[in-house]
Amino acid sequence: MGSDVEKDRFLTLFLRHERELAAIARASLPDWNAVDDVLQEASLVMWRKIDQLQADDEFIPWARMVLRFEVLKYRRSCSRDRLLLDDDLVALIAIEAKDETSEYVQEQRSAIRACLGKFSAEHQKLLLAPYTREEAVKEMAEAAGKTANSLYKRLGRLRTKLHDCVRMQLETAS
């Protein structure tokens, strides 16, 4: 993907639907850390293949397909874990979750916006960096004179704080 137009197109579409995709992934994965990992991998695949998407209104079905493959790949890598559900049950849950996600997704988006607003601009930029470019975190580390590993550790801590904040927001709203 070379053009800035395609990059902007991807970012617009992905950020608009990220929480919906996270909710779909969560229905099939054991925890939010797995969701973060799978969503990040899926976003990189989508980023590289956005030029294959014919129309913007086809983004969700296309993204769901990419996400499904990344979920299956993750589940295969964790196949020794007895706590994971079998693939048929996961598919059934995903189908049922599709109908229930829209209200929940709206609540999540609202909670995420509120929680992201509590972070500094620098932390917001770091939280969003993995979804913008594959090398964004490494570039940020170089610019700040830090190691990429230290920034990834900070990103992990920020994600945990964001997750906890969102969870608290959703529990409070319930």
Give domain limits for the chain.
4-173
Nearest CA to 158 out of 119, 129, 121 is that of 119
Tell whether the model's pLDDT for residue 133 goes beyond 90: no
Q: Which amino acid is at 149?
A: N
Q: Are 128 and 78 in contact (CB under 8 A)?
A: no
pLDDT tens digit sequence for 3-44:
777 878 888 888 888 888 988 888 888 788 888 999 999 999
CB atoms within 10 A of CB 67: 24
Q: How far apart are CA 3 and CA 72, in angstroms?
A: 31
Q: What angle do CA 153, 157, 162 make, to 5 degrees?
A: 140
Helix (H) or strand (E) segment spanning residue 119: none
CA-CA distances (angstroms) from residue 30 to 83, 85, 87? 8, 9, 13
Regarding pTM above 0.85, the answer is no
Q: What type of residue is 169? A: Q
Average pLDDT, the chain: 81
Question: What is the pLDDT at residue 1?
Answer: 47
